[in-house]
Structure 1
Amino acid sequence: MKGEAPPVLAGRRPVLELLRAGQSAERILLAKGHAPSNIVNEIRRRADRAGVPLQIVPSSEIERLAGDVNHQGVIALTARYRYTPLETLLAGESPALLFLDGVTDPHNLGSLLRSADGAGFSGVVIPARRTVQVTAAVRRVSAGAAEVVPVARVHNLTQALETARSAGLWILGLDSEAEDDIWSSDLAEPPVGIVVGSEDKGMGAKTRERCDALVRIPQRGRLASLNVAVAGAIAMYCCMPGSRSGVAGMRPEGWRGNGA
């Protein structure tokens, strides 16, 4: 929209990862009087090489633009986040994707992006409605992962799951009431898609129908479920490329944990 202010990405690590990933930025602002650091020095070097203007401004200007976000004296005025087509994610060799059905908390999405990067997942798929989008808050929480993990935004999640299945992915839905646990599933390896439901209601009925299998994360504690970001992270690490032999050894003999 004409005259609309560009999105603000705040924090040293997110801004550095933005530059490392070759993403565009209109300007980078550094707060006057902040102590130098290795990260800030690298931000300066990379901004200079990329031709991104860098300005030293009063801290009050940084605080005005960053709002309540912990900016650490560094912000980038960025271009709009660019989503990746689902077809691009599916075109890779043996893809591993995370599908989110109704996740609304930006902290959960940011954390899941960090975990997706750590587990070597190919990307994350979100619906265009009723799910948090990749906002400035998500990019901040992701600590740079939003700049390196591709995110596809689709209009119809169930159709996207069908497309993924047609491309050869096994679709596993996380369900605390599932009979099988993820450690025992023969499908928990790439090419694979993991589906995580919303924070309060879990997966929708149509989403569940598109899953090849429902699996739970076994627990020994008394609580019935895990936080969405934690459950998604565990599932991704269980399914990450080359992890199956290690996962099999993690499961104690005679394990009878509760579902998650």
Structure 2
Amino acid sequence: MITLHLCIVKNNQKMDNNIKGKVVIITGAGSGIGLATAKHLAALGANVSLAGRRKEKLDKLAAEIDRAGGKAIALATDVSKREEVEALIAHTIAAFGKIDVLFNNAGIMPVSMLENLHYAEWESMIDINIKGVLYGIGAVLPHFKAQLGGHFINVSSVAGHQVSPSSSVYSATKFAVRAISEGLRQEVKPYNIRTTIISPGMTESDLTDSITDERIKPMIGAIKQLAIPAESIARAVAYVISQPAEVDVNEIIIRPTAQPS
């Protein structure tokens, strides 16, 4: 029993040491998975750069992390605008001197039936869910290549593995995230860069608040009762970051136990 206890302590120390001091950019940090992950990683010793469209929420989170003894900076960022993503990267390097992890978490989910022809919502999902991920990769990749290391963590979804009525466009964007991530994984091996896809099932967040289709809202409301806490995803993010440099955890799917599909 004493030996086992010592092994557990050593393993916990190893996890902390693999995260402590790392600089992690988190998009969509103002709520849900992004917020929970920022708090969790900061508590483990990471320096976090918070990005999102709601500056007041980012500032509040950064202040909370600072009060708890962590290190956080915040910059209002619309990931659908390449120049704002590039400014985020420059801002992070100016503050912390490097970037170790990019957590491409920002996304929207205004699901609807295709027959409703919600063109503006389709375009927003493409701009944020796909282009936002690409802009983050494009802005950070030169830095990772130069330092011969780094870690991209891209958020897909269970909807990126299967399609259901009303999810056609959203699923398409999340399938795209998986395709982009796999292509990236194959390209960056010479530079010792790691890639991870996180595919959450129903998780507590405000992601569904953007749904405008009145027929879909009751269905989503029923499924939301199964939702797991955002902290569940935050722990998964910490797990993949904490692995030794030679270990590349490429994909994780996390569902509520009760979620049937």
User: Common fold, TM-score beyond 0.5?
Assistant: no
More strand by share: 1
More helix by share: 2
> Bigger radius of gyration, 1 or 2?
1
Q: Scaled by the length of structure 2, what TM-score is found?
A: 0.35
